């Protein structure tokens, strides 16, 4: 069954994408939650018109996302954490802390768009995170965990 996504669905697609999924997944999960609509001929026409109108806005948003991505790539991001003996952190560094660090640099990013590489960060050092600024702008951002 083909459906048109109304919202971004992780591991499936972004809003306004036409994707082919199994019938049960569409009927029991996507459609009842309002995440997608069935890809009928009238819905496809409506989607085409909507995409035509949004093309200009989308270019602006993408340019803004690239500007933010380049601004963060040039800066050194430091996250302070309480550290015990042997450089181990009390707790771990998570995406919320990274989103707050980005906010201090003037870039607002939702924590759901940040993915940390590897396992939980429990020691000081330099790490990388994959940040999705826009569906077409995904950057690897390096950050450093330092003792507070």
Q: How many CB atoms lie within 10 A of CB 21?
A: 18
Torsion over CA: 120, 123, 124, 125 (sign): negative
Q: What's the pLDDT score for residue 122?
A: 87
Residue in 79, 80, 3 with CA at minimum distance from that of residue 43: 3
Under 8 Å CB-to-CB from 114, ≥6 apart: which residues? 95, 98, 99, 129, 130, 131, 132
DSSP string, 65-127: HHHHHHHHHHSPEEEEE-B-GGGEEEEEE-HHHHHHHHHHTT----GGGEEESSS-EEESEEE
Q: Which of 73, 24, 16 is nearest to 48 (CA)?
A: 16
Residue 22, pLDDT score: 96
Which regions in the chain score pLDDT beneath 50? none
Q: Exposed/middle/buried for 143, CB within 10 Å: 0-12, 13-18, 19+?
A: buried
CATH class as words, domain 67-147: alpha beta
Indicate if 67-147 has the same CATH topology as 2-62.
no
pTM here is: 0.64
pLDDT (tens digit per residue) in 44-71: 999 999 888 888 888 888 898 888 888 8
Looking at the domain 2-62, which fold is it? Answer: Ribosomal Protein L9; domain 1 (3.40.5)
| pLDDT at residue 117, as a whole number | 84
Whole-number pLDDT of residue 69: 86
């Amino acid at each position: 069954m083909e459906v048109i996504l109304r919202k971004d669905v992780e591991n499936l697609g972004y809003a306004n994408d036409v994707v082919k999924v199994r019938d049960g997944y569409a009927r029991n999960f996507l459609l009842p939650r309002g995440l997608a609509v069935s890809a009928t001929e009238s819905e496809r026409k409506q989607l085409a018109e909507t995409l035509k109108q949004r093309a200009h806005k989308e270019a602006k948003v993408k340019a803004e996302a690239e500007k933010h991505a380049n601004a963060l790539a040039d800066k050194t991001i430091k996250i302070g954490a309480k550290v015990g003996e042997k450089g181990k952190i009390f707790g771990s560094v998570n995406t919320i802390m990274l989103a707050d660090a980005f906010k201090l640099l003037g870039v607002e990013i939702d924590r759901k768009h940040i993915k940390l590489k590897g396992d939980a960060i429990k020691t000081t050092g330099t790490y990388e995170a994959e940040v999705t600024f826009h569906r077409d702008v995904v950057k690897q951002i390096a950050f450093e965990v330092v003792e507070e």
